[in-house]
């Protein structure tokens, strides 16, 4: 049998594939039934938060910041309650990260505020002396992509039945309704910000990337 | 057919991929050095505006070296080794020649678009799988073409039995195909909703499931790109260069199946103490430790191949590169399982020890082996002797120093960081704020970046040596049997 | 199917396959050594495939069935 396998590339390839694939079938597939169930109180992201999340991804914040509090006292003391699987039920993709060049952000919304983020993104050293994080000034120039965020919310609602427009859940509605709601949420954040440029831009109906990002960061609790 | 003396191996595709290896090696490693220095000197983040921050560049570095440098290296050696161990020339099949060229050009176009999109920040954030869906499809096409080329060549082979290197190349092809497909399952949002950017997509998996699929992929991308094909290379190039048959061919077969079975289960060690099920975590830990056996099986086999021939280390720098590569393979396959032990992982996870570990493997094992393979191929492809042995020797020592600086500083940095995160004062309060644990690392970051710089300098020496070999070196009359000819 | 049953199946799937593969691996080892001892095949000669790899070199084991007798 073995002799035969070594000389038949096709069956050899099938053999390798089976051996290699089996691990995935056993370890990964069955948990798809369970892990995606949200814990009570976890809500899908609003469109503005999703836009912020896309900016988080665009600038690879996850290259330095994790979003996973491990169950150790040193971590819960520093970052808050340890993470539960159901808290990530609406995270597509997951953003656990693999390294902490900066602190964990799983619950950053509990202890940082809009204006802290504003100063920090403009000049990290001004609020955290010795910080090695780069400033993200371009987030104050670029306009957030609300359309794509709406597209994402709409997609997860239709394809994965994420519970938008349910009782006690964020509303999505049509594109125009969503847009109106985004403006309302953004105006609350802009009101807390200091930068006159951001306020001016908002008057013109532009939502800068930083506004969406802060909406997302404030939501991380 | 065998009497046909005019028949020669055709290296034109192998040459193309050799150039690509060098090009992406320079790009990927250069970005690596830049981002390493950015950690020590944050002002360097502002060299290119939005496009030059650490966070934007990091995916470029990882993808650049994995899918640019290394994949090109794998393809280059495949188009070289494949013909030789199957004893069939690509020139015998016009179809395979065309396929090889199409493979190269599609791959190049894909890589260039990939570099541009990553600079623009277009990506999915999943590590080593950042590309958006249109590029994912292109990756699949390129991969299928490579598969056709592998099995096409096997189909017209003269040598009935497949040499062990072939086994590993086939496994690379299959493993990456499966992993990449499943990890990149995503839904394009524009086509569902009609709004937004057409290239944006959302992952098929959510939260913990996404993490499991990602690290099943992430870990095994390491297996099937950093390990399996490099073993394929060393099983061919070390015996050929040294003139010694593999110490035990049987052991190589056995380690192959061992590696195939064990590797895939070990991905869970990236998710220890996370929210994935406990048994997945524990199994990830256990299998990571079992993984030492097949890994060391191959590495020891390589070292024993040199039994009684250690003198070659002195006379032939290529053998030196390869022996050091297998030694680093042993080191990093021991270090990895140690980090996968749960209690060690509690300390090491999220720290700089992890990139330290990765770079033992990539700089020492992967980088050295790939460069040695290209050095070995050059005299045979270009019919000239290698340009300078001296340059090779100094490259070896500069890069080795670089690697040692890199991993020693990252070990210290990682453990320091891990210890400081958990340190408490006498009342049980945390002793350090997070920023304390950052500023203390800056000297180590500087040291690490300098180690990386030395490695990059070595890579430039390699490039120069290769360039001179291709263009200016003394021609050789006939193909060398074993040790590659080189000028002093 | 509830999660308990799935977990159980998972565990069985894992145990059986591990045992199965361990058996395969050891019988492979046995096969390697037995067929070499009985002179049926010499595995170590395959190592020469890397060393004698010119396109004009005679294959270690040629594809054509006519040449099989030399084996």
Q: Determine the residue of chain A that is closest to B210 in CA distance.
A: A94
Asked if the interface predicted TM-score (ipTM) of this complex is over 0.95, the answer is: no
Show residues of chain A in contact with B430, CB under 8 Å. 74, 77-78
Does one domain contain both A132 and A159? yes
Does one domain contain both A51 and A27? no
Using the predicted structure, report yes or no on whether residue B95 has a pLDDT greater than 80. Answer: yes
CA of residue C16 relative to chain centroid, distance: 20
Looking at residue B449, what is its pLDDT? 96
Considering its fold, how many domains does chain A have in total?
A: 2
Does one domain contain both A28 and A116? no
Does one domain contain both B460 and B314? yes
- Taking alpha carbons only, the member of B470, B483, B472 closest to residue B19 is B470
Using the predicted structure, report yes or no on whether residue B236 has a pLDDT greater than 60. Answer: yes
Looking at residue B2, what is its pLDDT? 45
Considering its fold, how many domains does chain B have in total?
A: 2
B20 within domain boundaries: yes
Question: C17-64 pLDDT, tens per residue?
Answer: 778 878 888 888 888 888 888 887 788 888 888 888 888 888 888 876
Pick the range with the lowest mean pLDDT from B4-18, B95-109, B275-289: B275-289
Does one domain contain both A6 and A97? no
Indicate the residue of B85, B245, B257 with minimum beta-carbon distance to C53. B85
How far is the alpha carbon of A127 from chain B, nearest alpha carbon, in Å?
11
* The last residue of a domain, from among B183, B204, B225: B204
Give the integer Cα–Cα distance in Å for C46 and C50. 8
Does one domain contain both A108 and A208? yes
- Are the CB atoms for B368 and B324 separated by under 8 Å? yes
A42 within domain boundaries: no
Does one domain contain both B261 and B366? yes
Cβ A99–B346 below 8 Å, yes or no?
A: no
- Taking alpha carbons only, the member of B448, B446, B367, B452 closest to residue B408 is B448
Buried b (16+ CB within 10 A) or exposed e, B334-366: ebbbebbbeebbbbbbbbbbbbbbbbbbbbbbb
Rg, chain A, Cα only: 22
* Number of other CB atoms surrounding residue B478 within 10 Å: 6
Helix, strand or coil, per DSSP, at residue B363: helix
* The last residue of a domain, from among B186, B204, B222: B204
Q: Which residues pair with B384 in a beta bridge?
A: B475
A38 within domain boundaries: no
pLDDT band at B119 (very low <50, low <70, confident <90, very high): very high
Phi and psi at B350, nearest 5°, equal 70, 0
Does one domain contain both B468 and B369? yes
B57 within domain boundaries: yes
Indicate the residue of C25, C43, C50 with minimum beta-carbon distance to B258. C25
Does one domain contain both B403 and B256? yes
* The last residue of a domain, from among B204, B222, B257: B204
B325 within domain boundaries: yes
Determine the average pLDDT of the residues in B82-89.
93
Distances (CA, A) of B275 to A201, B141, B292: 41, 35, 26
Cβ C7–A30 below 8 Å, yes or no?
A: yes
Using the predicted structure, report yes or no on whether residue C66 has a pLDDT greater than 60. Answer: no
CATH (domain of B460)? 1.20.210.10
- Are the CB atoms for A77 and A115 separated by under 8 Å? no
Does one domain contain both B248 and B157? no
Looking at residue A33, what is its pLDDT? 65
CATH (domain of A185)? 1.10.760.10
Does one domain contain both A149 and A56? yes
Does one domain contain both B352 and B285? yes
Looking at residue B3, what is its pLDDT? 46
- A189 half-sphere exposure, CB direction, 13 A CA radius: 29
Contacts of B177 (CB under 8 A, 6+ apart): B140, B143, B147
Determine the average pLDDT of the residues in B143-156.
94
pLDDT band at B277 (very low <50, low <70, confident <90, very high): confident
Does one domain contain both B136 and B195? yes
B94 within domain boundaries: yes
Q: DSSP letter for A221, please.
A: -
A39 within domain boundaries: no
Looking at residue B1, what is its pLDDT? 42
Looking at residue B454, what is its pLDDT? 97
Does one domain contain both A22 and A65? no
Does one domain contain both A110 and A173? yes
Determine the average pLDDT of the residues in B268-276.
81
CA of residue A216 relative to chain centroid, distance: 7
pLDDT band at A36 (very low <50, low <70, confident <90, very high): low
Looking at residue C71, what is its pLDDT? 40
Cβ C6–A2 below 8 Å, yes or no?
A: no
Does one domain contain both B116 and B254? no
Cβ C35–A33 below 8 Å, yes or no?
A: no
Looking at residue B453, what is its pLDDT? 97
Q: What is the mean pLDDT of chain B?
A: 92
- Taking alpha carbons only, the member of B230, B222, B237, B346 closest to residue B291 is B222
Query: Which of C47, C52, C70 to mutate to test binding with chain B, by most B CBs within 10 Å of its CB?
Result: C47
Q: State the residue range of the domain holding A190.
A: 47-219
**Residue % of chain B over a pLDDT of 70:** 99
Question: B401-459 pLDDT, tens per residue?
Answer: 999 999 999 999 999 999 999 999 999 899 999 999 999 999 999 999 999 999 999 99
Show residues of chain C in contact with B89, CB under 8 Å. 55
Q: Which residue has the higher pLDDT, A63 or C10?
A: A63
Does one domain contain both B215 and B198? no
Does one domain contain both A196 and A100? yes
Dihedral of alpha carbons B128, B59, B286, B305, sign: positive
Instruction: Say if A12 is an interface residue toward chain C (CB within 8 Å).
Output: no
Contacts of C39 (CB under 8 A, 6+ apart): none
Give the integer Cα–Cα distance in Å for B446 and B413. 11
Q: Determine the residue of chain A that is closest to C5 in CA distance.
A: A30
Does one domain contain both B216 and B194? no
Does one domain contain both B277 and B168? no
Phi and psi at B201, nearest 5°, equal -145, 165
Instruction: Say if B83 is an interface residue toward chain C (CB within 8 Å).
Output: yes
Looking at residue B70, what is its pLDDT? 94
Looking at residue B194, what is its pLDDT? 92
Cβ B245–C50 below 8 Å, yes or no?
A: yes
Does one domain contain both A81 and A163? yes
Q: Which residues pair with B424 in a beta bridge?
A: B430
Our CA dihedral for B397, B400, B401, B407, rounded to 10 degrees, sits at 180
Q: State the residue range of the domain holding B473.
A: 211-488
A87 within domain boundaries: yes
Question: B289-327 pLDDT, tens per residue?
Answer: 888 888 999 999 999 999 988 999 999 999 999 999 999
Using the predicted structure, report yes or no on whether residue B4 has a pLDDT greater than 60. Answer: no
B2 within domain boundaries: no
How far is the alpha carbon of C54 from chain B, nearest alpha carbon, in Å?
7
Looking at residue B68, what is its pLDDT? 94
Does one domain contain both A90 and A179? yes
A40 within domain boundaries: no
Does one domain contain both B164 and B279? no
Does one domain contain both A114 and A182? yes
Query: Which of B128, B191, B274 to mutate to test binding with chain A, by most A CBs within 10 Å of its CB?
Result: B274
């Amino acid at each position: 049998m073995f002799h035969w396998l070594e000389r038949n590339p096709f069956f050899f390839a099938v053999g390798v594939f089976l051996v290699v694939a089996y691990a995935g079938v056993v370890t990964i597939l069955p948990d798809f039934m369970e892990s995606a169930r949200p814990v009570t109180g976890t809500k899908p992201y609003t469109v503005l938060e999703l836009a912020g999340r896309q900016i988080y991804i665009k600038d690879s914040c996850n290259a330095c910041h994790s979003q996973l509090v491990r169950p150790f006292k040193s971590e819960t003391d520093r970052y808050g309650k340890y993470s539960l699987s159901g808290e990530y039920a609406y995270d597509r993709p997951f953003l656990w990260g693999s390294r902490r060049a900066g602190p964990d952000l799983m619950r950053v919304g509990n202890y940082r505020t809009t204006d802290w983020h504003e100063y920090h993104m403009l000049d990290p050293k001004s609020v955290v002396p010795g910080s090695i994080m780069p400033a993200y000034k371009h987030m104050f120039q670029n306009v957030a992509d609300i359309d794509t965020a709406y597209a994402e919310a709409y997609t997860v609602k239709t394809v994965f039945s994420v519970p938008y427009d349910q009782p006690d859940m964020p509303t999505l509605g049509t594109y125009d309704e969503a847009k109106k709601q985004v403006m309302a949420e953004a105006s609350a954040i802009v009101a807390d910000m200091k930068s006159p440029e951001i306020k001016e831009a908002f008057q013109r109906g532009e939502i800068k990337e930083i506004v969406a990002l802060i909406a997302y960061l404030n939501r991380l609790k | 057919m065998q009497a046909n003396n005019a028949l020669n191996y055709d290296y034109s595709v192998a040459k193309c991929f050799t150039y690509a290896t060098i090009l992406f090696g320079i790009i990927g490693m250069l970005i690596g050095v830049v981002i390493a220095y950015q950690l020590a000197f944050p002002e360097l983040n502002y060299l290119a505006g939005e496009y030059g921050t650490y966070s934007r560049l990091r995916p470029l570095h990882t993808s650049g070296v994995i899918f640019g440098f290394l994949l090109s290296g794998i393809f280059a050696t495949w188009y070289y080794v494949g013909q030789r161990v199957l004893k069939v020339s690509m020139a015998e099949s016009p179809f395979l020649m065309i396929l090889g060229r199409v493979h190269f050009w599609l791959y190049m176009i894909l890589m260039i678009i990939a570099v541009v999109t990553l600079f623009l920040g277009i990506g999915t954030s999943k590590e080593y799988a950042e590309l958006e869906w249109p590029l994912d499809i292109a990756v699949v096409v390129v991969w299928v073409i490579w598969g056709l080329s592998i099995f096409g060549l096997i189909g017209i082979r003269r040598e009935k039995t497949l040499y062990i290197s072939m086994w590993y190349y086939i496994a690379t092809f299959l493993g990456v195909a499966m992993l990449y497909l499943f990890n990149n399952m995503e839904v394009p949002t524009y086509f569902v909703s009609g709004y937004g950017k057409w290239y944006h997509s959302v992952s098929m998996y959510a939260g913990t499931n996404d993490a499991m699929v990602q690290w099943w992929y992430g870990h095994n991308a390491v297996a099937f790109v950093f390990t399996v094909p490099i073993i394929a290379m060393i099983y061919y190039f070390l015996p050929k260069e040294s003139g010694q048959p593999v110490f035990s061919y049987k052991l190589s077969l056995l380690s192959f199946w061992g590696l195939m079975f064990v590797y895939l289960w070990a991905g869970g060690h990236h998710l220890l103490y996370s929210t994935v099920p406990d048994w997945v975590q524990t199994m990830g830990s256990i299998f990571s430790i079992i993984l030492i056996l097949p890994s060391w099986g191959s590495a020891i086999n390589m070292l024993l191949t040199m039994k009684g021939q250690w003198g070659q280390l002195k006379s032939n720098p290529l053998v030196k590169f390869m022996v050091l590569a297998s030694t680093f393979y042993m080191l990093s396959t021991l270090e990895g399982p140690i980090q996968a032990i749960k209690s060690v992982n509690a300390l090491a996870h999220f720290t700089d020890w992890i990139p330290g570990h990765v770079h033992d493997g990539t700089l020492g094992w992967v980088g050295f082996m790939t460069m040695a393979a290209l050095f070995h191929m050059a005299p045979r492809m270009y019919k000239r002797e290698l340009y300078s042995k001296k340059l090779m020797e100094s490259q070896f020592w500069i890069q080795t120093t670089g690697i040692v600086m890199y991993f020693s500083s990252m070990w210290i940095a990682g453990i320091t960081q891990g210890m400081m995160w958990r340190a408490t004062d006498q009342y049980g309060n945390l002793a350090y704020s997070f920023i304390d644990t950052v500023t203390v690392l800056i000297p180590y970051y500087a040291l690490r970046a300098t180690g990386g710089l030395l490695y990059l300098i070595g890579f430039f020496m390699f490039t120069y040596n290769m360039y001179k070999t291709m263009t200016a070196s003394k021609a050789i009359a006939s193909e060398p049997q074993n040790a590659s000819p080189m000028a002093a | 199917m509830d999660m308990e049953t799935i977990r159980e199946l998972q565990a069985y799937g894992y145990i059986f396959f591990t045992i199965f593969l361990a058996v395969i691996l050891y019988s492979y080892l046995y096969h390697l050594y037995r067929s070499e001892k009985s002179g049926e095949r010499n595995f170590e000669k395959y190592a020469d495939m890397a060393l004698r790899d010119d396109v004009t070199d005679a294959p270690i084991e040629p594809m054509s069935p006519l040449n099989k007798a030399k084996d």
